Copies of this chain bind each other. A is one copy, B any other.
Amino acid sequence: MDLPLQGLLVLEFSQYLSGPAAGLRLADLGARVVKIEHPEKGDACRKLAIRNTWVDDSSLLFHTINRNKESFSSNLKSEEDLSTLFKLIGRADVITHNFRPGVMEKLGLGYDKVAAINPRIIYASISGYGKEGPWKNKPGQDLLIQSLSGLLFTSGDQAAGPTPFGLAIADILSGSHLVQGILAALIKRHKTGRGSLVEVSLMESVLDLQFELLTTYFASGHLPVRSALANAHPLLSAPYGIYATADGHLAIAMTPLHELAEIIACEDLLLFSNDEIFQKRDIIKEILAKYLSQQSTAFWLGKLLPNDIWCMPVLDWHQMTEEEGYRQLHMEQDIVTGSGDRIKTTRCPIRWNGRILTSAKPAPGIGEHNASIKHEFKLTSE
């Protein structure tokens, strides 16, 4: 397969989730991604197991994010290793790292140094909070960034208190933004022949995520307030939200209230005018919640869907993976690791020329590709 980014060489100094997630996307789009790892420790994510799940001597998490890559081990504090690495940098198109500000500079791998070796390189970094200001040396960890950013007041009902997004949203978004910056810089290079410095941070990425909410806050000066129940977006009117039914849960999106009232024959909802659906959303949602709890999810879907009301059942992962709609997306792929273990994981979400992008290449062992890369790029001094 002749993928879009075929022929590009990416050196990934990144660890954990954000930078490696960017590397995975570039790899799935066809780039050759080589992890630069410490000879003994490797990417620290190798030892970061979630729910204590391991595959060989690295965590399942590591295998998930680092499939479709190679590994070149190098001790960044050794003069000899560094000089070998400089040769490899001379041949690369992209470098990524997510060390705290100043670390790469101390290692002799700052942007100026790297650009002097290879003026065509795209040098891309992810930090927690950027290079300036009082937060720059604070831990750039996902939950902490979420907590500082106001994001905890978007999810959950009002009484629930601050509620984080239950996965590493800051890491994932900043990795995604890094990919955008890298690809834009590569397009620029076609014209100028010169590389660029691309920088993102977890904090800026999570602020961008909230662009709607922040712009509304700037305009009104009032903090958005989550609804008392069935909150699904602090700025949206009733009935937008999730409702318990007799046997499960139902999601209802933007829907004209009176139309809904008539379809489900809930007269109490007719007491509210269209001007009240934001101000009185808590009362409206309470009436609706009580009413919907009396019948099954299937019963309500049977009433609502034929009338083009935007609603869906709430599914867990088990229920979802049983759905024909899920199966036809072909989001799963199998990887066999170097130790022979089989991992089922998801694929790249982008389709290109009608094809889904999968790759059977597993995550590498530390330094697994040192010999082949040294040979190919003639890096040995002997």
Contacts and interface: CB of A to CB of B under 8 A. Distances in A.
A209 interface: yes
A142 B244 CA distance: 19
Nearest to A346: B211
B184 A4 contact: yes
Interface residues of A, number: 135
Contact of A197 (B223, B232, B332, B352): B352
Given A64-B211, A167-B213, A312 B148 contact: yes
- A196, A215, A329, A353: most-surrounded residue (chain B CB, <10 A): A215
A348 interface: yes
B214 A144 contact: no
A5 B165 CA distance: 33
B147 A312 contact: yes
A187 interface: yes
A306 B329 CA distance: 49
A127 B160 CA distance: 33
A311 interface: yes
A137 to B, nearest CB: 11
Contact of A253 (B139, B178, B181, B213): B139
Given A156-B156, A187-B5, A346 B215 contact: yes
A370 interface: no
A272 interface: no
B324 A133 contact: yes
Determine how many copies of this chain the complex contains. 2
Contacts of A142: 253
Interface in A87-131: 129-130
Interface in A129-178: 129-130, 132-135, 138-139, 141-144, 146-150, 152-157, 160-169, 172-174, 176-178
A310 interface: yes
A37 interface: no
A204 interface: yes
A135 B204 contact: no
Given A29-B184, A242-B147, A223 B318 contact: yes
A180 interface: yes
A322 to B, nearest CB: 12
Given A134-B324, A219-B344, A208 B349 contact: yes
A351 interface: yes
A123 to B, nearest CB: 10
Contact of A50 (B212, B345, B353): B212
Contacts of A258: none
A212 B349 contact: no
Sorted from nearest, which 3 A-B pairs have the closest CB atoms? A154-B166, A133-B328, A183-B183
Given A177-B350, A204-B331, 18 more contacts: A25-B180, A61-B216, A129-B325, A143-B242, A147-B251, A163-B242, A165-B169, A173-B176, A174-B349, A176-B180, A184-B352, A187-B190, A198-B352, A201-B329, A204-B349, A208-B348, A213-B317, A218-B345
Interface of A: 4-5, 7-8, 25, 29-30, 50-53, 60-61, 64-65, 129-130, 132-135, 138-139, 141-144, 146-150, 152-157, 160-169, 172-174, 176-181, 183-188, 190-191, 196-201, 203-205, 207-220, 223-224, 226, 231-236, 240-242, 244, 249, 251, 253-254, 278, 310-318, 320, 323-325, 327-329, 331-332, 343-346, 348-354
